[in-house]
Structure 1
């Protein structure tokens, strides 16, 4: 089921305002759970987790910054 432009815009705001901070807390908890590795390994974990959250939510953010395609132009 495809999301409309307005639905994608609303969901992107929900993800950025609620989901992303929660994901940051989870990512920091994961790194702390493995007893604070070296700085390079920690950086690689954060970069990997940073890309990991993009994969399932990519379709929500595609085209959100563009003008509404369903809007009538007069």
Structure 2
């Protein structure tokens, strides 16, 4: 969020106020860039049976 705000402020200062579609494109692209590092973490969520088959059952709490 902070990076998108800084990038939009920089484009506003450098090139003038960008069009709405340009702002939307910047925010969407940065949203996908933000997802990339967390993709490996979230791929295992919701796959309880597959994880149990691969790593064995989880111990009872």
TM-score normalised over the length of structure 1: 0.54
Structure that is richer in helix per residue: 2
TM-score under structure 2 normalisation?
A: 0.63
Q: Offset at 1:27?
A: 1.3
Q: What residue number does 2:35 align with?
A: 54
Larger Rg: 2
The CA RMSD over aligned residues, in Å, is: 2.3
Provide the rounded CA distance (Å) in 2 between the counterparts of 1:72 and 1:57: 26
Who is 2:11 aligned against?
Answer: 34
The SS at the match of 2:45 is coil
Whole-angstrom CA distance in 1 between matches of 2:58 and 2:4:
39
Extract unaligned runs of 5+ from structure 2: none
Q: Runs of 5+ in structure 1 lacking a partner?
A: 1-23
